[in-house]
Amino acid sequence: MSDTHVPSLPPYRIGLTGGIGSGKSRVADRLAELGAALIDTDVIAHQLTAAGGDAMPALRAEFGDAIADAQGALDRAAMRDRVFRDPAARGRLERILHPMIGAAVDREAATARGCYQVFVVPLLVESGRWRDRVDRICVVDCDPATQIARVGIRSGLAPEAVERILQAQATREARLAVADDVIVNDGLTSPERLREHVDAMHATWLALAARRDPSPSHRPAP
């Protein structure tokens, strides 16, 4: 009697998002330490818009050489200012970058190996395309005042500039409305407490992944 081939399910997938300054990168880094495979759309976008990046010829053709810095990479500050001054420019930028980012995400996901996959997507809610691509959505939640303070310290941006960025992103309420899981990382959350929360969420996702696909390759380590 011949063996019956049972196709394996795709990897368990988590969509991780949060507003600027929420700490989602710190959460993602800890999940990677725990064995998750990260596919970070912001990292991919930086690669595409670096000097020699695949997106730069199309961006130069669309917006002119002024959007590139001296090294030939995208001048992100100049592009950000242009988008704020000209809302239509955002759509033109997204029409170039989003298909390229999507293709890169698919390539990375096809080969990424880990106990589950984490898609780090800053604009997950805004895009409206991720609900059916992941098993769960996790939001790293933070109050706006803490976001403004963190981004100011990190990047030197004035509070007014950070507030403009926040206004261009989904609201806190909109993110929480789509969340299956929430990791709180506000001004009262210590690094130790954040780590504990991430570790507990990781354990939950491992259990859910094992329940979904009981094959040995997807079981949590004893």
Residues 89 and 174 in one domain: no
Distances (CA, A) of 25 to 13, 89, 92, 210: 17, 27, 27, 25
C-alpha 87, offset from chain centre: 23
pLDDT at 169 over 90: no
Count CA within 13 A, CB hemisphere, residue 10. Answer: 11
* pTM for the whole structure: 0.87
Which structure tokens are listed for 83?
């988008």
pLDDT averaged over the chain? Answer: 89
Whole-number pLDDT of residue 80: 85
Return the DSSP state at 18: -
Q: How far apart are the first and last CA of the chain?
A: 34
Residues 32 and 94 in one domain: no
H or E element at residue 183 = strand 181-184
Tens of pLDDT, residue by residue over 127-146, are: 888 989 999 999 999 999 99
Residues 92 and 169 in one domain: no
pLDDT at 152 over 70: yes
Residues 32 and 126 in one domain: yes
Residues 157 and 192 in one domain: yes
Residues 94 and 184 in one domain: no
Residues 127 and 29 in one domain: yes
Is residue 72 very low, low, confident or very high in pLDDT (cuts 50, 70, 90)? very high
Whole-number pLDDT of residue 8: 62
Q: Is 52 left (phi over 0), alpha (psi -120 to 50) or beta?
A: left
Q: What is the mean pLDDT of residues 25-54?
A: 97
Q: What is the mean pLDDT of residues 84-92?
A: 88
Flag whether 142 is in a domain: yes
Q: For the chain, how many structural domains are there in total? A: 2
The residues near 117 (Cβ < 8 Å, ≥ 6 apart) are 11, 12, 13, 14, 36, 37, 38, 39, 109
Flag whether 201 is in a domain: yes
The CATH number given to whatever domain includes residue 171 is: 3.40.50.300
Residues 53 and 155 in one domain: no
Domain that holds residue 103: 40-113
